[in-house]
Amino acid sequence: MRVSLELGKVQVSYHRRLTMDEASLLRLLSLISLLSCTTQQASLTATPSSSQFFKGDSVSLSCGEDDGWRPTRNTTKRQRTRCGLDWGRSTGSSCKISLIATWESGTYWCESGEGETSNSINITVTGGAVILQSPVLPVMEGHDVTLHCKTKTPPSNLPAAFYKDGSLITETTGHMTIHHVDKSDEGLYSCDIRGHGESPPSWITVTGKPVTSAPPTSAPPSSSAPPPSSVPLQVVFRVLYHLVMFCPYFISTVIMVSLYRQRHTGQHPRVSMATAPPTQAEQRLAEDRDDIVTTEHHF
């Protein structure tokens, strides 16, 4: 009865431990899911990929494939409004502005239902005749960047002067390329087309390259390690060594156990009490002793 009760306790503790392990596993999976959800934030992109637009252009904004995020903006007229409420046409996590106005210049970003925010971009809408098409997202160090100076009406490849922080960089036809940008190329850029006008300025941000760790290199084989061919021989020697060391202890243990069992059961070694038969001389001596005793008795 006690055995069955003890077995029952073991089973109860086993099931209880299994339940605790499952709960811990579920908590771990929930934590991993929560971390993955919080780290996978949306990123706002614009199409066309430019920081400047003419009044009346069409612009598409996207927060990626997650429907929980919506494009949001701050403009000169309205603060913190989401796409689909009073501006743009919302489709999932995307938003399209068909005829963008100058007052819609401002800061745009993605925002989730819980109030989380993504990266932000600055969009400038001008009613003038010249814009500078520059990257709306930060540029990584080492990459090439091409700036286009465009007019609202063709042709768009007219000679243009490009400026950085108010200083003339170069005069070329239509576009300028900066090769292998670095932090020193970060700044406020604009362009000017003679006879058409100057573009609004736009800030270009340069980010550093992501740091990647080098893969670990395999350690060279140690010179003290034995060659592979000697491994089986060492195994044989080791087995023989253990057998030689083990046999004396085994034999002595068997003898001691045998002696203990004999003593415990009362079986002692038998001692033989048999005597050898008398010789002829001993028989004659015994007969003479008997005759003497008889004579003394009849005297």
Q: Where are the domains of the chain?
A: 41-127, 128-209
Phi and psi at 171, nearest 5°, equal -120, 120
DSSP of 215-275: PPPPPPPPTTSPPGGGHHHHHHHHHHHHHHHHHHHHHHHHHHHHHHHHHHHT---------
Q: pLDDT at residue 131 above 70?
A: yes
CATH class of 128-209: mainly beta
User: What's the pLDDT score for residue 77?
Assistant: 87
Q: Is 72 a residue whose pLDDT tops 90? A: yes
pLDDT at 219 over 50: no
- Range of weakest confidence among 68-82, 89-103, 107-121, 266-280: 266-280
Mind listing the pLDDT tens digit for each residue in 50-70?
A: 999 999 999 999 998 877 899
User: 35 vs 28, 29, 119, CA distance in Å?
Assistant: 11, 10, 19
**For residues 92-97, average pLDDT:** 94
Strand order in the sheet with 81-82: 52-54, 117-126, 106-112, 69-75, 81-82
**Residue entry with tokens 């609004």:** 200
The mean pLDDT value for 227-231 works out to 44
Q: Given CA atoms 58, 63, 67, 71 in this order, what sign does their dihedral have?
A: negative
Span between the terminal Cα atoms of the chain, in Å = 93
CB count, 10 Å around CB of 287?
A: 9
Query: Higher confidence at residue 2 or residue 175?
Result: 175
Phi, psi of 162 (to 5 degrees): -110, 140
57 Cβ neighbours under 8 A, 6+ residues apart: 99, 100, 125
Same fold, 41-127 and 128-209: yes
When mean pLDDT is compared over 57-61, 232-236, 243-247, the highest value belongs to: 57-61
Least confident span in 15-19, 23-27, 96-100, 133-137:
15-19
- Rounded CA gap, 143 and 207, in Å? 10
| Strands, E assignment, the chain | 45-47, 52-54, 59-62, 69-75, 81-82, 89-91, 94-97, 106-112, 117-126, 130-133, 139-140, 145-151, 159-164, 167-173, 175-178, 187-193, 197-198, 202-204, 206-207
- Report the CATH fold assignment for 41-127: Immunoglobulin-like (2.60.40)
Share of the chain above pLDDT 70, in %: 57
- Predicted TM-score (pTM) above 0.85: no
pLDDT band at residue 278 under the 50/70/90 scheme: low
DSSP secondary structure string for all residues of 163-188: EETTEEEEEEESEEEE-S--GGG-EE
> Does pLDDT of 290 surpass 80?
no
Structure confidence at residue 36 (pLDDT): 46
Distance of alpha carbon 124 from alpha carbon 59, whole angstroms: 12
Measured distance CA(96)–CA(73) in Å, rounded: 13
Q: What is the pLDDT of residues 183-198, one digit of tens each?
A: 999 999 999 999 999 9
Mean pLDDT in residue range 259-276: 55
Tokens encoding 278: 């008398």
- 171 beta partners: 161
